Amino acid sequence: MAKFQKGFLIVANWKMNKTAKEAVDFAKELINVVDKETAVNIALCVPFTALGALAPICVGSNIALGAQNMNSEPSGAFTGEISAQMLCEFFVTYVIIGHSERRIIFYEDNALINKKVKAALNANFCPILCVGETIEERQAGKTLKIIGQQIEGGLKDLPREKIENLVIAYEPVWAIGTGKTATAQMAQEVHAAIRGMLKKQLGSIGNKIRIIYGGSMKPDNAEELLMQPDIDGGLIGGASLVLQSFVEIIELAQKVAEHNNAYY
Ligand code: PGA
């Protein structure tokens, strides 16, 4: 299971929030308060405009930097877009790809998302591919069908030697920013199904890919979610904007990891 091999991954998704100055203040404080020995992998996926200011602060710390999107093309006439090579300059490790806000508001489909995942892996990033169903799809009993299409389409023909860098984020659309979290059981059920899909599509390497949960994860539900056998971390929006709640989630991940290590 990925969580025992690699440790938890806790990722902040700040979306369109925080100026560069606010980002710097947050990151400095975070580095100060997070236990240097923590086994939890921590990343901040920030607006492009904050990357330049954060890079010198995060390099050499145990906080990795991430972006929230990238273009699949290396360069060219794509007004307003950012390439992998541009992100490399800021020592970016993670890139969120196919977030439901990008799928719904910016009409990104599985084919485009697949190109971005490939470009991200080729640039040696860890793409965080987001998948998840809408409330209508869940109510119609189509959750696993939709996620199956997102996984199959998003992960087509990936460069095999880099697949292990991939992260999947299960984010039920109805739970994002709504305060409605999937119950731990609901999330575990989908994570286990995703694990099966990864193994079917990618072979045994599918066991090594982290599957993290996102959708109103916060200090009062993080522990129960992270205790589930197939939940390898969290992608956190609202609760990652406030230092205290983000730190609390990191500490809970550390606590669950220690419990798991003692137990197994
Ligand atoms: P939320 O956002 O934690 O505010 O629900 C999660 C996400 O969209 O990644």
Is residue 264 scored above 90 in pLDDT? Answer: no
Is residue 84 scored above 90 in pLDDT? Answer: yes
Ligand 1 centroid, distance to 169 Cα (angstroms):
11
Residue of 264, 177, 186 whose CA lies nearest to 224 = 186
What Cα–Cα distance (Å) separates residue 49 from each residue in 45, 89, 149, 197? 11, 13, 33, 36
Instruction: Check residue 6 and give its pLDDT.
Output: 80
Which of 46, 105, 235 for mutating ligand 1's site (highest number of atoms within 8 Å of CB)? 235
Which of 9, 11, 167, 171 for mutating ligand 1's site (highest number of atoms within 8 Å of CB)? 171
- CB neighbour list of residue 82: distance below 8 Å, 6 or more residues apart: 48, 67, 69, 70, 71
Q: Which pLDDT band holds residue 182 (cuts at 50, 70, 90)?
A: confident
Instruction: Check residue 160 and give its pLDDT.
Output: 87
What Cα–Cα distance (Å) separates residue 135 from each residue in 152, 185, 215, 216? 21, 17, 13, 15
- The tokens for 36 are 């240097």
The number of the ligand 1 atom at minimal distance from the alpha carbon of 239 is: 3
Ligand 1 centroid, distance to 44 Cα (angstroms):
13
Distance CA 50, CA 83 (A): 16
Q: Which protein residue has the closest C-alpha to ligand 1 atom 7?
A: 237
Mean pLDDT of 158-170: 94
Which of 216, 241, 248 for mutating ligand 1's site (highest number of atoms within 8 Å of CB)? 216
Q: Is 99 a catalytic residue?
A: yes
Query: In this predicted structure, which of 14-18, 63-67, 179-183 has the lowest mean pLDDT?
Result: 179-183
Residue of 69, 55, 184 whose CA lies nearest to 117 = 69
pLDDT tens per residue, range 193-235: 999 999 999 999 999 999 999 999 999 999 999 999 999 999 9
What's CA 172's distance to the chain center, in Å? Answer: 13
The number of the ligand 1 atom at minimal distance from the alpha carbon of 130 is: 9
Residue of 182, 119, 184, 104 whose CA lies nearest to 150 = 104
Instruction: Check residue 201 and give its pLDDT.
Output: 94
Is residue 104 scored above 60 in pLDDT? Answer: yes
Mean pLDDT of 151-155: 97
Instruction: Check residue 261 and give its pLDDT.
Output: 77
Q: Which pLDDT band holds residue 37 (cuts at 50, 70, 90)?
A: confident
In eight-state DSSP terms, residue 99 is: -
Say which of 101, 108, 133, 171 is annotated catalytic.
171
The number of the ligand 1 atom at minimal distance from the alpha carbon of 169 is: 9
Residue of 229, 138, 136, 147 whose CA lies nearest to 182 = 138
Pocket of ligand 1 (CB under 6 A): 13, 171, 176-177, 214-217, 235-239
Q: Which protein residue has the closest C-alpha to ligand 1 atom 6?
A: 237
Phi (first) and psi of residue 156, to 5 degrees: -65, 135
Cα torsion 198, 204, 210, 213: sign: positive
Ligand 1 centroid, distance to 99 Cα (angstroms):
10
pTM of the model: 0.96
- The tokens for 31 are 């580095």
Average pLDDT in the chain: 95
